[in-house]
Amino acid sequence: MTSDAEPAAGSPAELAVPTQRDPESVDDAPGDGGARPREASKARRRAFRLIAVGAALLGLYFLVTLWQVFRTGNSDQARPVDAIVVLGAAQYDGRPSPQLAARLDHVVELWDDGLAPLVVTTGANQPGDRFTEAEASAAYLQDRGVPADVIVQVGGSTSYDSLREVRDQLQARGLNSVLLVSDPYHSLRIRLIGQELGLTAYVSPTRTSPVRGREVFWRELKEAAGVAVGRIIGFDRLLQITG
């Protein structure tokens, strides 16, 4: 009977049966957009890995710089030089602050050791001040036996400005090597600035600074950030950006 017969080839019954296809072959078919999301996902993963590697390298660079700030601050490169240079700090109507006095006391020790024929005091003044940091420092040193005729005073409202004036004063005298005196956390930056300015720079940090404990760590962090950037773009450029 015709009801039990097989459908003829190409009959509507055969054409109605759905054809099974490999899902991956559908995605990869020419003109299909399935491959694009996978490529975009791979690109995002590559970008994320690059960002992660970059962040890790920057973090490592900062940690190495922080260690160098700490290590330089705990070293002493005292040796014979052309001039001992003390970086300025706050003064109150001609009287050095405890922080500046600690630096100056160390300068007296270095002078007594006969390490240089010249001492340079640095630092400007704040609006309304009668004295500059350099003037207050010079008077303090004279009271402790450093002869007035071996003291040179230079201005400068920043470490970079002060050291640039130091360089100019020394070059006019045919001198170049300096022993820089400041707080330990400050030592690496001023040595690098001095070298950037063409000075042969060494550091001899004071050991009696009133800046101690947690405050030292926060200042080391700040110094490490400045040094890390300054090494890349130059400390002169950094000063122009930060003011």
Per-residue pLDDT tens over the stretch 101-117: 999 999 999 999 999 99
DSSP E strands, the chain: 83-86, 91-92, 95-96, 119-121, 151-153, 177-181, 200-203
Comparing 42-46, 138-142, 165-169, 226-230, the range with the smallest average pLDDT is: 42-46
pLDDT at 33 (0 to 100): 58
| Other CB atoms within 10 A of residue 172 CB | 8
Q: In what order do the strands lie in the sheet with 177-181?
A: 151-153, 119-121, 83-86, 177-181, 200-203
pLDDT band at 63 (very low <50, low <70, confident <90, very high): very high
Q: Indicate the fold that domain 72-242 takes in CATH.
A: Rossmann fold (3.40.50)
Question: Is residue 191 a contact partner of residue 180, using CB atoms and an 8 Å limit?
Answer: yes
Domain ranges of the chain: 72-242
Burial grade of 163 (CB within 10 A; 0-12, 13-18, 19 or more)? buried
Which residues touch 116 (CB under 8 Å, ≥6 apart)?
80, 81, 82, 83, 84, 110, 179
Share of the chain above pLDDT 90, in %: 72
Q: Is the pTM of this model over 0.85?
A: no
Mean pLDDT score, 86-101:
96
Per-residue pLDDT at 146 exceeds 60: yes
88 against 30, higher pLDDT: 88
* Best CA proximity match to 184, nearest among 149, 136, 151, 223: 223
- What was the pLDDT predicted at 25? 47
Residue 15 scores a pLDDT above 70: no
- pLDDT of 1: 44
Lowest-pLDDT range of 22-31, 91-100, 162-171, 216-225: 22-31
CA 194, CA 203: separation in Å to the nearest integer?
10
Measured between alpha carbons, how far is 222 from 149 in angstroms, rounded to an integer?
A: 37
pLDDT at 242: 75
Average pLDDT over residues 130-146: 97
Q: What is the pLDDT of residues 19-35, one digit of tens each?
A: 555 544 444 445 555 67
The pLDDT of residue 2 is above 70: no
User: Which value, to the nearest 10 degrees, does the dihedral of the CA atoms of residues 196, 201, 206, 212 take?
Assistant: 30
Lowest mean pLDDT among 25-39, 61-75, 123-137, 158-172: 25-39
pLDDT of residue 36: 79
pLDDT of residue 71: 97
Question: Does pLDDT of 67 surpass 80?
Answer: yes
Q: Is 2 left (phi over 0), alpha (psi -120 to 50) or beta?
A: alpha
Per-residue b or e along 194-223, where b marks 16 or more CB atoms closer than 10 Å to that residue's CB = bebbebebbbbbbeebebeeeebeebbeeb
C-alpha to C-alpha distance for 18 and 211, rounded to whole angstroms: 83
Q: What pLDDT does 30 receive?
A: 52
Q: Is-contact 69 188, C-beta < 8 A?
A: yes
